[in-house]
Structures are given as structure tokens and as C-alpha cells.
A and B are shown apart, each in its own frame.
Chain A
Amino acid sequence: MGFEPMEEFEQELRQAFERRPAPTSLKRRLMESRRTRQPGNHVLNWQRLAAAILLTATLGGGLVWRNREEQRKGEAAREQVLTALRITNRALNQMNTQLAAHGRAQRQGD
């Protein structure tokens, strides 16, 4: 084959396959990634989550309260309209009775 013996070839391989130095940025990026996953950051994440839940609950509660308030006002308005209608109905009945009595009195006078 015209190539050196296997031992020599293996020696060439060992030299060719020496470890390469890792990029200097690798360790820096690793330590940064690790720092963002530290237990302190877990606490921070829990705090953020708790704050988000609290905010959502407050907003949700506000919305529910506003809906109930509007419902209550609507009920009150409905009650007022019904009362007004009852009063009008009573007044119309009274007027009707008076008109009927007046009509009878006129017929008796004739």
C-alpha cells in the first residue's frame, strides 16, 4: 500500500486526535446559564408567580364586583319602574271608578 506500519499509523492518529481547546466563551456561557437557574432565582420566580396570581385575582375580583353592582342597580331600577306602574295603575283605577260614579249620577238626574 506504500503506507507506514499500523503502529506508526496509530501514533499519527493519536497526534491528530489530540483534544482541542474549548472556546473561551463556553465556560462563560455555562456559568451564566447556571446562574439563571440558581435556587435564589427559583425563589424570585415563585415571587413573580405569586404576584401574577395576586394581580389576576384582584382584577378578576374587581370584574365580578362590578358585574354584581351593575346587576344590583338594574334590579333597583326595575323595582322603581314596577312601583311607578303600580301607582299609575291605581290612579287610573280610581279615575275610572270616579268616572263611572259620575256617569251613574248623570243618568239618575236625567
Chain B
Amino acid sequence: MAHDWQPDFEQLVDEHQSMVFSLAWRMTGDRGLAEEIAQDVFLELDRHLGKIESAAHACFWLRRVTMSRSADALRRRVVRGLDLWVEMEEHHGISVVERTSPLGARLEQLLATLPESQRAALVLRYQEDLTPEEIAATLQAPVATVKSNLQRGLKLLRAKAANHLKEYVRGKEYARGI
């Protein structure tokens, strides 16, 4: 029944390129590298198109391979944390601040400083809106590990945000009249 589905490569690219690119960018913190990863992932999808059974399978496959390729790329690279984001904006002329709120932009920057396993869990949870079980299946990790990474990552990110965003919080409290 699943084999009634006919995969259309171009349509899959249209539907999922934003997801693949965003996952790779958030995992690596490098726009150029994310583009390379996205290209590799889609070309691999093209080679495995015959084995893809449904639209949902394609989406799952793309997420899993993107996360795996991003982890491989990270292992080959030195993770440079916050500096990497500053460099990224300088090199590509992209202002994260312009696109989102100051807090949102800062959260993206702080995400790059988290350990890889926590970052992966948080990105899949809050970008892709996946449940811990779905994240575990995507990362091929135990659900308990994923839940732990989510909790720790969230706590760490919140603590980092609280430290780094005192001015923002103060401004927000001021606006609320606290």
C-alpha cells in the first residue's frame, strides 16, 4: 500500500529544503557548511529514492540523515561557539537580529554553545516540534537519553539566556511595570 506513493524528487526538495537547511545550520552554526550538507543529503535521497515508501518516510529519512551528516561535519570541525555566529554574520551579511526578536536571536547564538547531543534534541524538539520518542527514533538513541538531553539542554540554555540577557529581561520587566 505504501508503494503506491510515487516520489517526486523536485517536489521533495521544494517541501523539505528549508527543514534540511535549517537543521544543518542550527547544528553546525555555519551557513556554507549547512548548504553543503543539505546538497549532500538531497543527492543521497535521490540515490535512495526507490527505497522511500511514503511522504512521512521521506521526511523522517531526511531528518535522520541531516542530523547524522551534521554530526559528522561537526566532528571534522572545531566548534567555535559564539565567535562562529559573529563570524557567520560578518561573512554572509546575515543579521539574525533583523529576522527575529533580540531574545530569539540570542537564543540561536546560545544554542551553538550547547553540547552537540543537547543541541540536537532541542533543535528537533523546538524547530521540528517532535516528541521525545520521535527524536529518539531520528537520532537512533534511547528515549531516556533524549529526555535527559532535552531537560539538561533546556535548563542550560535558560541559564545561559538568563546570564546573557539581563538587559533584555530588565527591559521587559520595566515594560511590564515591575
Contact = CB atoms under 8 A, between A and B. Distances in A.
Interface of A: 1-4, 6, 9-10, 12-23, 25-27, 29-31, 33-34, 37
* Of listed B13, B20, B166, residue having the most chain A CB within 10 A: B13
Interface of B: 9-10, 13-14, 17-22, 25-26, 35, 38-39, 42-43, 46, 100-101, 103-105, 107-108, 111, 122-123, 126-127, 129, 154, 157-159, 161-162, 166, 169, 172-173
A12 B107 CA distance: 9
Interface majority SS (helix, strand, loop, mixed), chain B: helix
Contacts, number: 92
Nearest to A29: B39
A81 B166 CA distance: 107
Contacts of A30: 13, 39, 42-43
A17 B43 contact: no
Nearest to B159: A1
User: Which 7 residue pairs are nearest across A and B when measured between Cβ atoms?
Assistant: A16-B104, A22-B21, A22-B17, A17-B127, A16-B107, A13-B126, A17-B126
Given A3-B158, A33-B39, A34-B46, A15 B104 contact: yes
A17 B169 contact: no
Contacts of B173: 2
A12 B104 contact: yes
B43 A10 contact: no
B166 to A, nearest CB: 8
Given A15-B100, A20-B21, A20-B22, A31 B126 contact: no
Contacts of A29: 39
A17 B108 CA distance: 7
Given A3-B169, A10-B154, A26 B43 contact: no
Contacts of A9: 154, 158, 161
Contacts of A37: 43, 46
Given A10-B154, A17-B127, A27-B14, 16 more contacts: A1-B159, A2-B166, A3-B161, A9-B154, A14-B129, A16-B105, A17-B111, A17-B126, A19-B22, A20-B21, A21-B21, A27-B17, A30-B13, A31-B10, A34-B9, A34-B46
Contacts of B20: 22
A89 to B, nearest CB: 79
Contacts of A27: 13-14, 17
